[in-house]
Amino acid sequence: MTAHRVSPWNPANAVTASRFVFVPLLWWAIAHGLHQWATLFIILCGLLDKLDGLVARIFDCRSAFGELFDAITDGLCYGSGLILVAAYGWAPALPVVCVIGLGLLNTALRFVYIRRAGRAVNYKSYAMERIVAYTGYLIGFATSGMEVTLFYWAFVPLMLVIVVHDARRMLIDPVPGAGPAVEPAERAAARSTTADEPVRAVRRSAPATAATAEARQ
């Protein structure tokens, strides 16, 4: 991760944000039964997903916010794409519901992870990176009519295993490079007066894992 402060208004985040343009275009193509155009739009959306990382490296504007924004954009673009293909009958609805449910669960776990870390940080998982890319392909398989049943049903158990694996790491394992060891006194006091419960110090992760955190960022 870069040491200098990076503005959220940078070229990499602009590329990430530009992916939202493809959601209405995809909707238009699906609504008009244009399989090839829909496939083209989802391929372009996927290419921009790869391009934003490259732009971040070229302009040296990598940031924790950018990673988080990219993850949220993945969820919104691919999630809405999956809903569209299922709604128009181009993909089976049940696996799409399972995939979106698991995706929402993973997003909720990411917010728990951010709370545990005490700062805006993207939870990086090699397996989840791969499954997110597969989600992009899933929409492409539906728009091109390519082995839709096989690809959609194969995805569900794979994603379930990854969500369970990552949940353990996000909820149980120590958070690398987390903030202070105890909850700030004023916050703890405020909590005790409003909730009428004993003040409990929140134990954060061991600092010994900070090196691993840097490697992940």
29-37 contact pairs (CB < 8 A, 24+): 29/143, 30/84, 30/85, 30/88, 30/90, 30/143, 31/88, 35/143, 35/144, 35/145, 36/144
CB of 166 closer than 8 Å to CB of 129: no
Minimum CB separation of residue 154 from another protein in Å reads: 5
Shortest reach from residue 198's CB to another protein, in Å: 33
The contacts of residue 176 (CB under 8 Å, 6+ apart) are 205, 209, 210, 212, 213, 216
Q: How far is the CB of 208 from another protein (least distance, A)?
A: 11
Q: Using an 8 Å Cβ cutoff, are 213 and 176 in contact?
A: yes
Instruction: From 13-21, 28-36, 54-62, 101-109, give the range in contact with another protein by CB under 8 A.
Output: 28-36
Tell me which stretch binds another protein (CB under 8 A): 3-11, 33-41, 61-69, 190-198: 33-41
Does residue 47 touch another protein according to CB under 8 A? no
Copy the structure tokens of residue 74. Answer: 């993945």
Q: Which is nearer to another protein, 75 or 176 (CB)?
A: 176
Give 28's contacts (C-beta < 8 A, 6+ positions apart): none
Binding piece for another protein, criterion CB under 8 A, among 37-45, 78-86, 93-101, 111-119: 37-45
Binding to another protein (CB under 8 A) within 72-131 occurs at 125-127, 129-131
Per-residue mark of binding to another protein, 140-179 (x: CB under 8 A): xx--x-xx--xx--x---x--xx--x---x---x------
Applying CB under 8 A, which of residues 18, 25, 37, 44 lies at the interface with another protein? 37
Burial 96-110 (b: 16+ CB within 10 A, else e): bebbbebbebbeebb
Q: CB of 143: closest distance to another protein in angstroms?
A: 10
Q: Which long-range contacts (CB under 8 A, 24 or more apart) does 101-108 make?
A: 102/156, 102/159, 102/160, 102/163, 103/75, 103/79, 103/135, 103/159, 105/163, 105/167, 106/163, 106/166, 107/75
* Nearest CB to another protein, comparing residues 37 and 88: 37
Residue 6 or 163 with smaller CB distance to another protein: 163
User: How many residues interact with another protein (rule CB under 8 A)?
Assistant: 32
Residues that bind another protein (CB under 8 A): 34-37, 39, 43, 125-127, 129-131, 134, 137, 140-141, 144, 146-147, 150-151, 154, 158, 161-162, 165, 169, 173, 209, 212, 215-216
